[in-house]
Amino acid sequence: MNYQTYTLSNGLKIVHKPDNTAVSYCGIVINAGSRDEAENEQGMAHFIEHMLFKGTAKRRSGHIINRLENVGGELNAFTSKEETVVFATVLNEHFERAMELIADVVFNSTFPQKEIDKEVVIIIDEIQSYNDSPSELIFDDFEELLFAHHAIGHNILGKPELLEQYTTADSNNFISKQYRTDEMVFFAIGDINFNQLTKWAQKYLKINRTFEEKPKRIAPANYTPSRTEINKNTHQVHFMLGNRAYDLYHPKRMGLYLLNNILGGPGMNSMLNLSLREKHGLVYNVESSYQPFTDTGMWSVYFGCDPENAQKCEQLVHKELTKLREQKLSPNALKKYKLQLLGQMAIATEQKENLALSLGKSYLRYGKIDDLETVRNLIKAITAEQLQEIANEIFDVKQLSVLKYI
């Protein structure tokens, strides 16, 4: 992949991919997420993300909202377990405006208490909306099951009783520990002159501040598989099954991506969809997912079904897992699945916003960006024997945890 990089004296890294289009995508990815919260800070990373839009030293919230909207652009943000991302989409001619605004909200937010009090109500409403959606809530609860007593398992949105106590001082304290310029990447895709981009970066991103020592991340301890049922009084049974999995740097990570795509990826021809939906007509949605983190990972299967079909669906899931553990894929099947994954990845690169976000995260985590040809070669090199070995490690029935809403 053709990309350009630069590092400011404060450690903030810049990565840019030239693209001959009228629209630019840019943002900052920060190596700070919900897993970096202390026990009494649950929800703080996501809370801060909201508050970045509520006022800076020179802008009120209304000015922040309108700064890009007035020229047809968009400003957005999200929080994950390990990152906070602020990003924008604008016409090329307004790129500097977007960069300056992103820098302002990330480095100069003031966290006024009156805005905190209003925003906490909104976040609590967001939490309640999740609580009313069991098909979404079960993913958060399952993460807490897999990573019990560890911050990576905490709900990103936090706890209402803690949110209601947060102050301006709490916000500034979290920022001073977690928003380190040497753990940030500014990413961009667009038809922007890179020399000009670096000059703007020197102007807007060369922030020098003293940081408190950032607490080191501690990897989760080994877990004990468990089976939990929670009475949610829902019309459907919601079911999740899964295990700890490989981290972002594990050599078998790409193999698990492929294996997960075969089992329950987005294709209608995934093994789980063909079995539970197409053949037996028991579910509307069944999926599997793999999420790697910097020092651990998780893999899971989800489905929702009528209560009388829950046991049958669980048996069918185990049947497909058993196939992958006990039977090697044939050469033709493996070739087909590899082509499918490669096609999905190539199509995904055409979605420029997602590509920009991936650009930033990849440079933050690996210090490089692999092009599609490199990834293609890695996938082509995966063997049926390797996939079977991964299946026996990750799909080991003795290591699987289950969460069931009834």
Residue 371: give its domain's CATH number: 3.30.830.10
For residue 255, is pLDDT > 90?
Answer: yes
pLDDT digit string (tens) for 171-205?
999 999 999 999 999 999 999 999 999 999 999 99
Residues 59 and 183 in one domain: yes
Flag whether 209 is in a domain.
no
**pLDDT-derived band at 231, boundaries 50, 70, 90:** very high
Give yes or no: residues 199 and 240 share one domain: no
Query: What pLDDT score does 193 carry?
Result: 97
CA atoms within 13 A of residue 386's CA, in its CB half-sphere = 16
Amino acid at 115: E
Encoding tokens for residue 189?
Answer: 């895709």
Q: Looking at the structure, do residues 135 and 259 belong to the same domain, yes or no?
A: no
Q: Say whether both 196 and 234 belong to one domain.
A: no
Domain range enclosing 263: 227-405
* H or E stretch covering 25: strand 23-30
State whether residue 233 is helix, strand or coil: coil
% of the chain at pLDDT higher than 70: 100
Any domain includes 339: yes
Determine the Cα–Cα distance for residues 203 and 107; give it in Å rounded to an integer: 13
* Three-state SS at 18: strand
- Number of domains present in the structure of the chain: 2
Q: Is the pLDDT of residue 210 over 90?
A: no
Residue 292 pLDDT exceeds 80? yes
Mean pLDDT value across the chain? 96
Residues 179 and 278 placed together within one structural domain of the fold: no
Do residues 47 and 93 share a domain?
yes
CA atoms within 13 A on the CB side of 103: 20
Task: Report yes or no on 218 lying in a domain.
Answer: no
Percentage of the chain exceeding pLDDT 90:
95
Q: Do 55 and 186 have their domain in common? A: yes
> In this structure, what token pair is assigned to residue 55?
């006022």
CA–CA gap between residue 87 and residue 80 (Å, rounded): 14
d(CA 138, CA 52): 29
Res 344: pLDDT: 95
Domain identity same for 233 and 200: no
Residue 320: inside a domain: yes
Q: Is the pLDDT of residue 211 over 80?
A: no
pLDDT digits (tens, 9 = 90+) for 62-119: 999 999 999 999 999 999 999 999 999 999 999 999 999 999 999 999 999 999 999 9
pLDDT of the residue at 215: 84
pLDDT tops 80 at residue 209: no
Element (H, E) at 227: strand 227-230
Q: Is 134 part of a structural domain of the chain? A: yes
> 184 and 246 share a domain?
no
Residue at 13 is within a domain: yes
Residue located via tokens 């803690």: 162
Q: Which pLDDT does position 213 carry in this prediction? A: 78
> In the listed set 171, 204, 237, which residue is the last one of a domain according to the structure?
204
**pLDDT tens, position by position, 305-364:** 999 999 999 999 999 999 999 999 999 999 999 999 999 999 999 999 999 999 999 999
For residues 116-136, average pLDDT: 94
Task: Say how far apart CA 84 and CA 33 lie, in whole Å.
Answer: 6
Query: Are 183 and 324 contained in the same domain?
Result: no
Cβ-based burial of 200 (10 A; exposed 0-12, middle 13-18, buried ≥19): middle
Global pTM value: 0.94
Is residue 161 scored above 90 in pLDDT? yes
Residue 214, in any domain of the structure: no
Helices (DSSP H) in 179-309: which residue ranges? 194-204, 253-264, 271-272
189 in the same domain as 120: yes
Find where tokens 């936090």 sit.
Answer: 158
Do 237 and 180 share a structural domain? no
Domain-located, residue 69 = yes
Average pLDDT over residues 48-59: 96
pLDDT tens-place string over residues 258-278: 999 999 999 999 999 999 999
**What tokens does 290 get?**
């793999």
pLDDT tens for each residue of 20-40: 999 999 999 999 999 999 999
Contact 118, 57 (CB under 8 A): no
Retrieve residue 92's tokens.
């090329």
